[in-house]
Every structure is written in C-alpha cells, then in structure tokens.
Structure 1
Amino acid sequence: MNPKFSSLLLIVSLLVSHMAISQDTPNDDLHITGFIDTYYSYDFSQPNTSIRQPFLFNHNRHNEFNINLALIRLDYEKQRYHARIALQAGTYAQDNYAAEENMLQRLNEAYVGLSLNRANTLWLDAGVFSSHLGFASALSIENFTLTRPLVAESSPYFLSGAKLSYSPNDRWFLMAVATNGWQRIQRVPGNSLISMGTQVQFLPNENVLLNWSTFIGTEDPDETRRMRYFNNLYATFSLSEKLDLITGFDFGWQQTAKNSDTYDMWYGPVVVAHMQWNQRWATGLRVEYFDDENEIVTSSSGPAGFKTTGVSLNMDYQPDNRIMCRIEGRYFHSPDDLFDDISSLSNQNFFMTASIAILFDKSW
C-alpha cells in the first residue's frame, strides 16, 4: 500500500475513534459509511487478458475474485455547512481514476459546502464530488442492476470543481457546475478552459422524477482544442409498490478538429425495469443500445467504431437490508467484431457476474 495513503487512512481512523470516544451523547453531526462490493465475473468469450472488455469500468476482471469498490466515507453535517471525505480501493478506483496520480486515485470524494441563504436552499460546494450526469451510482447496492449501463460507463462518475445548487421547493432542483474536465481531478495539461455543466430535476408528483443534465468543455490542450457538448436525460417512474422503471437517453457531440464546423456524435438509450417481489427478492431487467462510431467516449478493438445492443437480467437476494447478494447475466451484440475473444474478435459477448455487497453506517 502507498505510504502516503496509509498515513491518510490512519488519520481518518484516528479522527473517527476520537469522535466516537469524545462524544458522550449522539448529535448526528458526524456520519460514517462503509461499503464493500466483492465480485466474480466470467466472460464466456474468454478474453486473453484479465480485463474483460476495454469499454467497461466496473466488475470487469475475467475469471477472478476481486473487489469492485471498497469505500469508507465521513460526512460532517451542520445547519449552515457540511463536508465529506471518502477513500476507496478496488478495480473501480484503478480503472476510473487511472488518469490521476496514485494518491488521488484513492480519493473517491472530498468536498466542503456552505449554505448561502437563511432557508438553506442555496448551497455552494467545492472539491471532488459525484457527477451530476447519469442515474447510476458508483455503489452497486444503490442501483437496480449489478453492472452499470453503457451510458454510465461512458460518462463521468466523478468531477472536480465547484457547484451551485438551489432547491426552491420540493419539486424543483437546479444546479450549475464548473469543473476541471470530463471525469478528472487534475485538468488536462495545457488546457486552460474550465468545463461547465447544469442539472435540472423536476418531480411532478411523488412517483415521477425528470432529469436533464449537461456538460460543455474539452479534453484537449489549447492548441488542439475540440469542444464537447453532452446531454443526459432520464426519468424514473414508480409504477406500483413493487415495480419501478427508468428510461434514459444520452447524446453528445465533439468537434472533429479545432475551430471545425463538423462534429462527431454519440448516443445511447437505456430502459431499466425493477421488480421487488418481496422484502428479500428482486429482479432487474435492462435493455440498451450505444452508438459511438468514432469512439469519442468509448474504447474497443473493433474496426468500425462502437455500436452495441445489450440486454441484462439480474436476480437479487437481501438477507438483511445492509447486504445484497446478486447474480447477473449480460449479453452484447454488435454488427462488427469488436469484443475481445479467446482467438481474436467476436460480434457478441456474454458474461455472468456474481456479487456480495454490504453497506453499513453509523452516526455520532
């Protein structure tokens, strides 16, 4: 383990121990959350490397027991300010934070927020925080499916910067974001342009949520700057006490060259249905398509870009509300040979993933 990370982990542990011992009566100011997601995945294409497919960043080790995400998170809450720090390990951290320095790869979130009005409806947060793009969480236990949809794997899980959020009432949520880039803690060397984004959420009633999120920025240094424009749309529906539905559609454009009037486009629709059969058993079904012909936000071995249809089905068992046991089958099909295979490439891919995840927390 990196010595700097060990020191930071020791400091966090001592802080938690001190708070637990020093406070005789709980006041709920400090909240600690722990999460561990263990998994085993078998890719029937039997790729030649342990990393199954290059466009997946969760549960993506073939024929190997591993940790997708192990996380410890501290939240400090007061009426007019709050703070969060979360440390992480696992294949999720290795793959999604690969562009960052080793120390920063261990940082899942770290931010401070201040209330800007007496009603506490206007907040300014700054640091490293979860992305406002997409409905999939980095914590698998919070999602209807075990693995993440292609639209989530090809858009940011985290951002670094500042965000201004406003909740005028229970129905509306508005946010503006300034960041260092597209899923980056450190800005791209040579890039002087800050990226921007927005989010609008509307709840017409207690059973429906509508979301529109955006991103405008670049992933290039100034001399080759190509602007990127991205939209994330999704809606969640609670159709009954047992049945929930999510529909989403992502689409974006990027300039083909600096100052060019032509753009390359990518897009992806997804539908997720979730049936809670009883307190312990549930099923998740996902149907999706993703088209990134010029591989702007995906990476594959295919000769003609990335075009893929996907279907997945998972069965969930919860012996306790803190523990989730899951098994999922997932199938991909493409008109081109783009999936890593035991021999070369294939136009289809099927894999099974099993997971046991636990989420626990405590307040002081």
Structure 2
Amino acid sequence: MIQNDYPFPGRQVKKLLLSGAMLLGLATTVQAQDSASSKIPFDGIETNWQNGSDRRDSSVFHGKYFIPTIMLDMNYTHSFNNPNDNTVVGSTALARNNEVQLSQLSFGGDFTYQNARARFLMQFGTRSQVVPRNDLSPYRGQYQLANVYRYLSEAYAGYHINKWYGINVDAGLFMSYIGLNSYYQTENWEYQASYTSDNTPWFFNGIRIQIFPSKTLKIEPWIINGWQSYGKFNSMPGLGANITWNPTNSFKLLTNDYYGTDAAGLPHRYRFHSDNSLQIRYVNKPDSKGISKAAFSLTGDLGFEKGDGVNGFKDDPVKGPAQYFLSAMFYNRIWFAKNKFAWTIGGGLMNNPGRYLVLYPTGQASPLPDPNNPTQTEGKFPFSANPGDQFHAWDASTNLDYMPNQSILFRLEFVHRHADVPYFAGPGGVTSQTGYTTSVLDPNWRPDLVNSEDRIILALLFRL
C-alpha cells in the first residue's frame, strides 16, 4: 500500500519540491531540507501518476525539522440492495450505506533532526473501527491493543545511515505495501479496492529496514508481529520484504513476500504470500486538452496456509483440505483536460478456499467474537471459515474524478461485486430483524446475505 521510498520522511516532500522548485520559487526551501546526503532515491523520476502514490508534485508546507500532513476522506455510498441497517459488508473503505460518513481524518507529519527521523499520523473516522476489527491478536493475553492503536495509522521512529542512496532503520507502526493500493484513498485510482487489495494487510507493527543500493532500487526487509496484527498470534514473528524497482518515469515493478504463523491458537499453521505489481504509463502529454496521460496497473497475488489441518494447494486425506489465495486486479486510468479529470475502469477476481483472507460479514447480531474462541468469526451467526470452505469472487468498477487542484479530488464511482456464496448485506441487513444490534431476536431471524451488490460511491478527498 502506501510507500515511503525516501531516506528521510521529508525526502518525499523534498522530491515533490524539487520537481516544482523553479516554477513555484521554492529553491530556498529545497536547500533547507535535510542535506546529510546528496543522493536521493528515485530523484527526478515521476511517481505522482502511479496507483497508490502521492499525486502531488509540490507541497504548501516546508520546514527544516517538521513537515505536516493533513488528509480528509468523506464518502456517501448507496447500495442497491438497500440493507435496513445501513451496514456495508466486505469493505475496509466503507462502513455505512445512505449516510454521509467521515471515513478518515488524518493529521501528523514527518520529523527530521540530523540523521534521526520520525513520522506519525493520527486517524479518526470509520476506518479507525473498520480496519482494527479484523485483527484478533489482542485475544491472546491481556490489554485491548486494538483500542490502544486504533487512532494511529502510522507511528514510527528511526535512523538514517549515509550509505549508497540511503539506509533507514525504523521501528513502530507503518503501512503495508501488499496489494498495491495505498491506505489513503487520496492516493488510489479507485475508492472501493478490489479483493486483491482489500483482503490483504493495511498495516504492520514491528521493524523495517529500507535499503537503497541505487537510485532506482529499494530493498526493504520486515520483522513484524504478523499479518495486519498489533500483537502476535503465536510465538513466531512475521518475516517479509518489499523490493521496488522504478527505473524510469513510466515504469514501476515491485514484489512483496511474507512468511508467518497467523492463525490464532494454531502455531504449526504457516502462511506464505507473494504480491506482485506492474505499472506502466503509456501516454504523457501534460499540456493536452484531450488525453493528457494514460496508465495501467496489474497486480497478482499467490499465497497459501499449511499445517494444523490444512494443506496449501492440494487436498490431502490426512493433512487436510487445500487452503490458498489466488487473486489479480487490473486498472486502466486516463487523464484528460490537462489532468483536471480522470476516468478509471478495472476490477479483479479472487479464489480463497478456506476463506482465511476473506473479510467476514460485519455485525450479525453480536458486537464481538468470542474471546475464548478467537478463530471463530464475528457474530451470533458467524460466517463459516472452516478448512475446505470455498470462496470465489469477482468485482468491476468505474469512476470519474474531478481534480481542480492537487489538494482536492471529487469522485463518482460505480462498483459491482459478486461472490459464489451469500456474502453481501441484503435488504434485511446483518445486525437484527429491526435494523440494529440487539440481544432480543426473533428466533427465526437470520442475517440477510446475498451473492452480489451494486453500489454508487461519492467521495471528497482532501490532502494538504
């Protein structure tokens, strides 16, 4: 998801400033940025067209020691299924239907002093509930870790080493890159992410080392608590790495790979996951009143779990059924009218036997999973996620963006999603027969889940 590819937190803004310094008169500000190293990774390479990257080419903020960040994400979405409780199922971007929602308010920034560095971003809004609810690691041991961390999207500190094009050693809470999309919607081509992105992790908690051996290459190992987990599910930490190669203004290739034990109470069940993306810009005419830019992104994921009753890609009568994840997503984006408008179309598909990466339907008449059984999905009528349970799904979307300047974006999006099992909220909702969570239920009531949904999303995305 979001990537900080620069030796200092301020390097990203420094790179933005460099690209527009002559035009905006910011040369003095650029010089005031950290000067510990004259080698800047990806210097001169345009990244603001890429899916999952900051689209700005300059910043209104500048400073020697601190550069602030402010982001606001508002949305309104309508599901044509019209669930009576307004609950959105199977999304980390959306929470409520037919209501204007503050999805995310983030503020914070980047600190630098000599070679010391730190970054923090607070987060408020529905995402501070929707994303942490998928982490069940707090049920191992004491303390409500989800509540402790839920209002932080990023919080880490580290040290920069002046070697090659820079080496950073950071510890704390940082964004995942698995699934290409950024955690911050203002950086994405689409609002409702495809399954490949929405069903993979948004954050990591641990240690990362960013190594820039050349101007166009980043190698980043991770030692983390686990797969989108504030704590550890078992005794083994998660291990992984990102490799990003961005040799030109129009080409980017990356891979993310992960290995860990992430099934609660099953210490001998191992997970491997490989996520790979290609991005190509095939038109670039920034002054054109017609098509000014065009690009596509292609992402493919492959993963599996093995041990403690499941057996990777192959059913076995002794070791257990297959449990794996195969997915892909493709998006094409065309900018026009000097990049003031953009049209995106795309979608993806997912095959996930065992459903170990499926976002479980929300609510279902009970607010929390059973703490004595952390492998059970949420609700009084939990969505089945047993070994051997099949899940095949696909989605398609298209949107139109209006971008009067680089700090604000208005988006109108249509999304269709389908699954081969009842999964999305139907007219009866998923929390109770009366449309809200209650312990007094009609004994004949069940969550109303259906196989598909169509929805419209209106979003206002602001970044400064």
Normalised to the residue count of structure 1, the TM-score between the two structures is 0.85
Amino acid at match of 2:458: A
* 1:345 Cα deviation after fit: 3.2
Other-structure match for 2:294: 243
Rg bigger for which structure?
2
- Structure 2: segments with no counterpart, 5+ residues: 1-61, 136-144, 285-292, 312-318, 362-382, 429-447
Structure 2 letter corresponding to 1:211: L
Indicate conservation of the 8 Å contact 1:192/1:221, yes or no: no
1:277 to 296, 312, 336: 336
Per mean C-alpha deviation after superposition, the further-off stretch among 212-221 and 158-167 is: 212-221
Is 1:353 the counterpart of 2:404? The answer is no
Cα distance in 1, alignment partners of residues 463 and 323 from structure 2: 40
Question: 2:77 aligned to 35, 41, 44, which one?
Answer: 41
Structure-1 separation of matches of 2:331 and 2:384: 27
CA distance in 1, matches of 2:188, 2:278: 14
Q: What letter is aligned with 2:276?
A: L
CA distance in 2 between counterparts of 1:222 and 1:335 reads 29
Report Cα offsets for 1:12-56 as digits up to 9, x if no partner. xxxxxxxxxxxxxx7432011100101111111122433211x21
Deviation at 1:187, TM superposition (A): 2.3
Pairs within 5 Å for 1:4-19: none
Structure 1 stretch 60-69 or stretch 43-52: which is displaced more? Answer: 43-52
For residues 28-177 of structure 1, the aligned pairs below 5 Å read 28-53=64-89, 55-98=90-133, 99=135, 100-119=145-164, 121-177=166-222
CA distance 1:221–1:32, shift in 2 (3 Å): same
User: Could you tell me whether the CA contact under 8 Å between 2:334 and 2:344 is conserved in 1?
Assistant: yes
**If each structure's strand is expressed as a fraction of its own residues, which one has the higher value?**
1
- Structure 1 residue ranges without an equivalent (≥5): 1-25
Q: 1:323 to 1:332 in 2, by over 3 A?
A: same
Call closer, same or farther: CA 1:224–1:192 in 2, change over 3 Å: closer
Q: 2:244 aligns with which of 201, 206, 209?
A: 201
SS at match of 1:202: strand
Alpha carbons of 1:256 and 1:56: their partners in 2 closer, same or farther (altered >3 Å)?
farther
Displacement of 1:118 in angstroms is: 4.3
Query: RMSD of the alignment, in Å?
Result: 2.1
Paired with 1:236 and 1:222, the residues of 2 have a C-alpha distance of 39
Residue 311 of structure 1, CA deviation: 0.6
Find the partner of 2:415 among 330, 336, 347. Answer: 330
Q: CA deviation at 1:256?
A: 5.1
> CA contact under 8 A between 2:393 and 2:419: conserved in structure 1?
yes
Once residues 207 and 82 of structure 2 are traced to their aligned partners in structure 1, the CA distance between those partners, rounded to angstroms, is 43
One-letter code of the match for 1:30? F
Equivalent pairs counted in the alignment come to: 332
Any conservation in 1 of the 2:280–2:296 contact (CA below 8 Å)?
A: yes
Report the Cα offset of residue 146 of structure 1.
1.8
Q: Which residue of 1 aligns with 2:375?
A: none
Matched, 1:310 2:361: no
**TM-score, L = length of structure 2:** 0.68
- Look up the SS of the partner of 2:129 in the other structure: helix
Query: How big is the shift at 1:117?
Result: 3.7
CA contact (8 A) 1:136 1:143 kept: yes
Secondary structure of the 1:52 match is coil
In structure 2, the partner of 1:15 is none
In the other structure, the counterpart of 1:16 is none
In the alignment, which of 349, 354, 358 is matched to residue 294 of structure 1? Answer: 354
Could you tell me how far apart the structure 2 residues matched to 1:206 and 1:357 are? 25
Partner-residue secondary structure (3-state), 2:323? strand
Is the Cα contact below 8 Å between 2:253 and 2:279 reproduced in 1?
yes
Give how far 1:79 is off.
Answer: 4.8
What is the deviation of 1:120? 5.3
Sequence identity, in percent?
A: 20
C-alpha contact 2:270 2:305 (8 A) present in aligned 1: yes
- d(CA) in 2 for partners of 1:123, 1:111: 12
Residue 345 of structure 2: SS of its match in structure 1? strand
Q: Distance in 2 between matches of 1:27 and 1:322?
A: 19
Rounded to whole Å, the distance in 2 between the matches of 1:147 and 1:259 is 31
In the TM superposition, 1:180-219 aligns within 5 A as 180-188=225-233, 191-219=234-262
In 2, Cα distance between the equivalents of 1:256 and 1:315?
Answer: 45
Deviates more, 1:79-88 or 1:173-182: 79-88
C-alpha distance in structure 2 between counterparts of 1:56 and 1:291, whole Å: 17
**Separation (CA, whole Å) in 2 of partners of 1:327 and 1:39:** 10
Tell me if the contact between 2:350 and 2:392 (Cα under 8 Å) persists in the aligned partners: yes
Deviation at 1:65, TM superposition (A): 1.2
Alpha carbons of 1:264 and 1:172: their partners in 2 closer, same or farther (altered >3 Å)? Answer: same
